[in-house]
Amino acid sequence: MKHLGGSKTPSYTNRYIQRSVKLLSSSLTMTSWVLRRFPRKALSLVTSSKNHRVEDCHRHYEAYGHFLPIQTRWQDNDQYSHMNNAVYYSYFNAAVNHYLVRYCGLKTSLLKSPMVEFIVTNQCTYHTPISFPEIPVAALAVEKVGHSSMHDRPALFPPKPAKEPPSVDHHDLRDGFFFGHPKLAQFDASACATGSSVHVSVNPATSKPVGLPEDFRAALLRLISPASV
């Protein structure tokens, strides 16, 4: 049967077209629903798996570039006879700022420095306790260097069980040492605490972020963690 020009389409054809459109619309809706949900879940699983790998990597001192021995103090212990959890943050802060001052050229005076470092996020995960009078070593790695920010990974490694404490001298306390130094063998390869923080470089006069100088950036990139590459 021919239908030309202004001929009307038979009713069964209209019903077929309407049904096809409805099925297509339903299919597109279902596809959209799957695309909205499945990738997020998959991405979440992938991200979670990656985060676990990164955290596992940072339990070991191979992930770190610079190390600074720390002498614990009597006042660091709490009533449970181990180092209070808040003290770990002070050791992390010492490790980061020691490197920034000693190797990046950071000036700590608000009156003389063109920039200062502000912490915007800070986190610590505790693995095993330590206590006074142990001498742990603080470690530092860098995850990412932005225009005016740095994402760093501090950690603390306990001394190996021994009759004598680790042998450190004033050079180690002044300069620290880098990965591969023989004195690192005195410390356990697994961290007793790991952390992460973000520092932003700020103009002390305006409190506005400022770009990192190239020599400052180069010193930070020296500590890029293998887990971040």
* pLDDT tens string 143-183: 999 999 999 999 999 999 887 889 989 999 999 999 999 99
Q: Return contacts of 112-115, CB within 8 angstroms, 24+ apart.
A: 113/204, 114/203, 114/210, 115/201, 115/202, 115/203, 115/204, 115/210
β 177-178/149-157 pair status? unpaired
Question: Number of folded domains in the chain?
Answer: 2
159 and 214: one domain? yes
Tell me the mean pLDDT in the region 6-12: 50
28 confidence band (pLDDT: 50, 70, 90): very low
φ, ψ of residue 198 in degrees (nearest 5): -125, 125
pLDDT at residue 43 tops 80? no
Q: Which has more confidence, 38 or 219?
A: 219
159 and 219: one domain? yes
* pLDDT tens string 194-203: 999 999 999 8
43 and 101: one domain? no
Longest dimension (CA), the chain: 103
118 and 224: one domain? yes
Instruction: Map residue 143 onto helix, strand or coil.
Output: strand
pLDDT value for 227: 61
CATH number at residue 189: 3.10.129.10
Domain ranges, residue 46: 1-53
What's the chain's average pLDDT? 81
CA–CA separation, 52 and 57 (whole Å) = 9
46 and 149: one domain? no
pLDDT at residue 101 tops 60? yes
184 confidence band (pLDDT: 50, 70, 90): very high
15 and 124: one domain? no
| Range name among 24-38, 64-78, 190-204 with the lowest pLDDT average | 24-38
pLDDT value for 196: 94
34 and 99: one domain? no
Q: Which of 53, 75, 92 is the last residue of a domain?
A: 53
26 confidence band (pLDDT: 50, 70, 90): low
Tokens 């020691």 found at: 98
Q: Which has more confidence, 20 or 155?
A: 155
pLDDT at residue 33 tops 50? no
164 and 108: one domain? yes
pLDDT value for 225: 76
Tell me the mean pLDDT in the region 26-52: 50
Q: Return contacts of 77-81, CB within 8 angstroms, 24+ apart.
A: 77/131, 77/132, 81/131
pTM of the model: 0.73
| Range name among 17-21, 31-35, 96-100 with the lowest pLDDT average | 31-35
